[in-house]
Structure 1
Amino acid sequence: MILFQLSYPSYWIILCLNLSILLSYFLYCDKNSKKILKKNLVSFLLRLFSLFFISLLFLEPISKSFVYKKNKPIFLVFVDASESVNNYDLRNQLKGLISNHNKNVDIKTFHFSDKVYDGLPKNYNGKETNINSVFEFVKKKYLRKNVEGLLLISDGIINLGKNPIYNESINMFPVHCIGVGDTSQITDIRIENVNYNPVSFQNSIVTLELIVSADNLLGNNFDAKLISNGKNIQSFNFLVNENDFYKKIIYKVEVDSSGLNQFKFKVDSFQNEKIISNNSFDITIDVIESEYKILMLYDHVHPDAITIRKSLESDINVDFKILSVSDENIQFSGSDLILFSGIQVLEKLISEKIKKSEIPLLFLSNNGENLFKNFFDNISLNFGNNFFEVSPSLDTNFSSFKIDRNLINQFKNGPSLSTNYLKISGIKRPDIIFRQNVNGITNDNPLILIERDGVSKGIILAQNFWRQRMYDYKSNENYLKFDRFILDVCKSLILSSRKNKISVDYDKIVGINSKFNLRVKKFNKNFELDNNEDLYFECTNNFGDTIKKKITKNKDYYQLNLKLESIGKYKFKVFSEDTSSYHNSSFIVEDIDYENKFAQANHRLLKQISEKSDGTFLNYTEFKLFNEFISKKKFVSESEIESVNTVDIKKNEWILLILLMLIITEILIRRSSGKK
């Protein structure tokens, strides 16, 4: 394929053509009729083409010729190499598949456990399974390649990473799954999960929700123990009253010592139980000494204000007070956060004192427009005449704190909220948490946002949040998820005003074969992400061994991945050269048997992946059918540019020869007609 290009804009061609026509016309037009006579038509055209081609050469034309090569289509194979599939080796069958079809398709093989590795597995000794890492790898390496499909061989058990069913890469091309492992239901009792807040305050009472399930153990009694520092602090006896048994058990525990508090949940095993590693579950709670003092100023009572009060008072280390704006001698000094509810106008003296105090603020939507304009310099609010129903939709750019995925789904599927805010503008450095979703469509209007310019100020632009708290209880028999969200919003406002503006997210419990992951976000006075300073990490274990590392800088955060070889408790600190410590805490390294906590293969997940991507699902005993499927499939090769040859047309001898022939021909015709 040959492509012609000019070094100048294409409209110059029109100018060159018009100029050539004009010059040729003046040369050959009849003076009497002002037309081109028939006897001069050939000469006119020869002169026209000569001038036009010569003028084009001044535009520096080039020609590009492309050399293409055909690439074979790609087919990807990913094999689960974790311990749970040790008895289901399909390497020989895969080698046969490759040899049978390698002429028509480029089959690339990988294996995975905690992450993706090249080639077929040499052994099956992976301690963790992260199926989502497969699709993250594909998105990174094969996004624009000619991939015809993907074969995933696994038992479907995941104990690391996100659920792959939500990964957008699944839809890139068909994903064919071959399920290995035993799907038959065995007799077992296990701890499915523990729901809890990983951070709490000293001397507070925390709520721990233990989820237990059992199969084929109808009529048996078991004890669920909560253990701390080697002592049984609480025990709950329960009867299994169904073959497919599921139960939530609530524990209330007072945490009186600061630092990392470790708890172990343990459920009794029964005689000849095959898997006992899933009968225990370890958690840690980071207990801090701080206490938050939150003041609510109100003029009119609103159900949402009462709901927020209940959420904040559920934490014993929140000192919550309520004052009416009509009270005399309102004292707000020492408060970490001020909430406003149902206030139309606030006395100027009080407003000025609050501004000077630089205390973070949170406004409910039932406040008056004048109050907003008093505290937000450039705010503009557009109200509708009527309230309309909305659902909260999480802003994709929000990252100030983590929001429970289940709570996001509850907000989406639960009762709607009400608002009459059509538009809000003039917010400096808005940090939007949720946007409006009306009839399933998310728009640009915020529902909950924080202004991060100077003193942080939050606004809740919707009403009837009390419905969502009730829905949380209906779904989970507690208010944990909703209360934690409200507390996190308030904490985000409070922490933005403190000098030590740093957010540290890290693994509290680490498997001996896994990596310790630490992520740090550092903020400046305007709560902007700031990673100009070098940060360091130092940890010491029970034996006095110390590790010191510089934390890697990324675009918006700092990150550290560290493999540790000794079991025990590690104390660590994050610091800079100028600051002795930004953050102190600890974590625990244990020998965790992730792979053997689940005995039953999860082929349901593999079937969901296949259905979502228009792939196929087969059992490992049906591998021959997949081989036949590949044999019948027509693979399409894709052409790719191998090289590009660029030639300057001015230097082309044939072009110059053609021009010369045109000019000579015109001269001969002119001479034969008696013209000079």
Structure 2
Amino acid sequence: LQNSSNFDFQDSQTNIYQSLDALNKLSKEQKSAIVLISDGNQTYGNDYRYFSSKLPIYSIAIGDTTRFSDIEISRINTNVYANLNNKFPVEVFINYLGKKNIKSKFVIEENNQIIYSEVINFSIDKKSAHLQFKLPANKIGKHLYKARVAPLTDEKNKINNLKNFAVEIIDKKTKIAIVYSMLHPDLGMLKSVIETNQKRQVTWIDLHSMNNYDIDSDMYILYQPNNKFDKIFEMLQLKNKNYFIITGKNTDWNFLNNIQSDFKKSTSFDTERFGANFNINFNAFYIEDIGFEDFSPLEGAFGNIEITVPYQPILFQTINGLQREDPLLITISN
């Protein structure tokens, strides 16, 4: 962002999404609004049509608003890491702007070698394609992949036909510690599901019987935290460890609100049964909607959640089939 009244309009690319994102971060502590003056044609970057702004946006259309035929890779979802000798999932969204029936070819390349290809068709009624496939993880190290869709014969903007992504292939067991202070059937279920993947190993941390919490793990699952979790939180924050908090009707929210500053929940003595609704715009990593809305509801304390850091919701809360603004499952990257 530049604070200037002198513009030369000589740049060759437009990234509307990046500008909106930067302004949201800049103004997160104060109330303000954004005035977007543009012809609406973006040449690279994330698709701004999917941007979720905390600030109101007022648009003024100027210039040549003629829309040219265009095909673009709008988003690629995949995981950061993959295990050696496995296959990792990739999800690709491709959009088409035009009035003809067209056919194009999508390919994935590594080291200038095509490792995946697929023919895709678009028409007046079919403007998007959602591709899902798996790539092999055959060699340890960081791998750079190039996703490319063949341009149209009359296409003006070809920059958005290409996107790069990287995946690191590792060969080790991921160590996961489950921290708890109460017994519950959920604990056994968590261990069973996690260790379905043979590259994952679960360690128990029972706060009633252990004095040494400094167990080296890649991820810590904190099950229904209460005041017995204070030293665990101190260790996690000191060593900047990854952790996953699972709350429920036995969670001590007064403790949880005070021990960390990322989110707060105002609760009452009432409990509620929460259903789930999948966020189709989630893109922090690859995840499928496995029918979350059909799962049995979860029971927890009723109240509103205030999140004070940037986050992405994976699931939204539903109550009696109606979606709330509060999330049910989120990711936070510090």
TM-score interval, normalised by the smaller of the two chains: 0.5 to 0.7
1:131-530 aligned at under 5 Å gives the runs: 131-132=19-20, 135=23, 153-157=37-41, 166-168=53-55, 177-216=59-98, 219-294=101-176, 301-302=185-186, 306=189, 310=193, 312=194, 318-320=199-201, 337-338=203-204, 351-352=209-210, 355-356=211-212, 358-359=214-215, 362-365=221-224, 376=229, 419-421=248-250, 423-425=252-254, 430-431=259-260, 434-436=263-265, 443=266, 468=276, 471-472=277-278, 480-481=286-287
**Is this contact kept in 1: 2:109–2:147, CA < 8 A?**
yes
Aligned partner of residue 116 in structure 1, secondary structure: coil
**Is this contact kept in 1: 2:257–2:263, CA < 8 A?**
no
Letter in 2 for 1:338: W
Letter in 2 for 1:294: I
Q: In 1, distance between residues paired with 2:26 and 2:112? A: 45
**Is this contact kept in 1: 2:38–2:61, CA < 8 A?**
yes
With over 3 angstroms needed to count, the CA separation of the structure-2 counterparts of 1:227 and 1:151, relative to structure 1, is closer
Q: In 1, distance between residues paired with 2:6 and 2:132? A: 46
With over 3 angstroms needed to count, the CA separation of the structure-2 counterparts of 1:463 and 1:199, relative to structure 1, is farther
**Is this contact kept in 1: 2:104–2:121, CA < 8 A?**
yes
Q: In 2, distance between residues paired with 1:273 and 1:223? A: 15
Alignment deviations for residues 531-582 of structure 1 (CA, whole Å, 9 cap, x no partner): xxxxxxxxxxxxxxxxxxxxxxxxxx9xxxxxxxxxxxxxxxxxxxxxxxxx
With over 3 angstroms needed to count, the CA separation of the structure-2 counterparts of 1:189 and 1:308, relative to structure 1, is farther
**Is this contact kept in 1: 2:41–2:65, CA < 8 A?**
no
Gaps of 5+ in 1: 1-114, 321-334, 341-345, 380-398, 404-416, 437-442, 446-460, 484-556, 558-676
Q: Match for residue 514 of structure 1?
A: none
Aligned partner of residue 278 in structure 1, secondary structure: helix
Aligned partner of residue 420 in structure 1, secondary structure: coil
Q: In 2, distance between residues paired with 1:208 and 1:420? A: 36
1:25-104 aligned at under 5 Å gives the runs: none
How many angstroms does 1:250 deviate by?
Answer: 0.9
Aligned partner of residue 160 in structure 2, secondary structure: helix
TM-score, normalised by the number of residues in structure 2 = 0.57
Q: Match for residue 604 of structure 1?
A: none
Question: RMSD of the TM alignment (CA)?
Answer: 5.2
**Is this contact kept in 2: 1:294–1:318, CA < 8 A?**
no
**Is this contact kept in 2: 1:262–1:285, CA < 8 A?**
yes
Larger Rg: 1
Aligned partner of residue 260 in structure 2, secondary structure: strand
Letter in 2 for 1:430: I
With over 3 angstroms needed to count, the CA separation of the structure-2 counterparts of 1:362 and 1:216, relative to structure 1, is closer
Letter in 2 for 1:255: A
Alignment deviations for residues 210-251 of structure 1 (CA, whole Å, 9 cap, x no partner): 101223365433322111111111112233254441121012
Aligned partner of residue 118 in structure 1, secondary structure: coil
Q: In 1, distance between residues paired with 2:195 and 2:171? A: 17
Q: In 2, distance between residues paired with 1:180 and 1:270? A: 26
How many angstroms does 1:151 deviate by?
Answer: 6.8
With over 3 angstroms needed to count, the CA separation of the structure-2 counterparts of 1:338 and 1:222, relative to structure 1, is farther
Q: In 1, distance between residues paired with 2:4 and 2:92? A: 39
Q: In 2, distance between residues paired with 1:178 and 1:209? A: 34
Aligned partner of residue 131 in structure 1, secondary structure: helix
With over 3 angstroms needed to count, the CA separation of the structure-2 counterparts of 1:247 and 1:435, relative to structure 1, is farther
Q: Given the alignment of the two structures, is residue 119 of structure 1 paired with residue 5 of structure 2, yes or no? A: yes
Letter in 2 for 1:247: A
Gaps of 5+ in 2: 233-239, 290-333
Letter in 2 for 1:166: S
Q: In 1, distance between residues paired with 2:279 and 2:27? A: 39
With over 3 angstroms needed to count, the CA separation of the structure-2 counterparts of 1:126 and 1:139, relative to structure 1, is farther
**Is this contact kept in 2: 1:378–1:426, CA < 8 A?**
no
Q: In 1, distance between residues paired with 2:77 and 2:83? A: 17
Alignment deviations for residues 592-630 of structure 1 (CA, whole Å, 9 cap, x no partner): xxxxxxxxxxxxxxxxxxxxxxxxxxxxxxxxxxxxxxx
- Seq. identity, %: 15
How many angstroms does 1:434 deviate by?
Answer: 4.9
Letter in 2 for 1:472: F
Report the structure, 1 or 2, having the larger strand content.
2
Letter in 2 for 1:230: N
Letter in 1 for 2:53: Y
Letter in 2 for 1:179: A
Report the structure, 1 or 2, having the larger helix content.
1
Q: In 2, distance between residues paired with 1:225 and 1:212? A: 12
**Is this contact kept in 2: 1:418–1:462, CA < 8 A?**
no
How many angstroms does 1:362 deviate by?
Answer: 3.2
Q: In 2, distance between residues paired with 1:402 and 1:125? A: 42
Size of the aligned set, in residue pairs, is 267
With over 3 angstroms needed to count, the CA separation of the structure-2 counterparts of 1:276 and 1:435, relative to structure 1, is same
TM-score, normalised by the number of residues in structure 1 = 0.32
**Is this contact kept in 1: 2:20–2:53, CA < 8 A?**
no
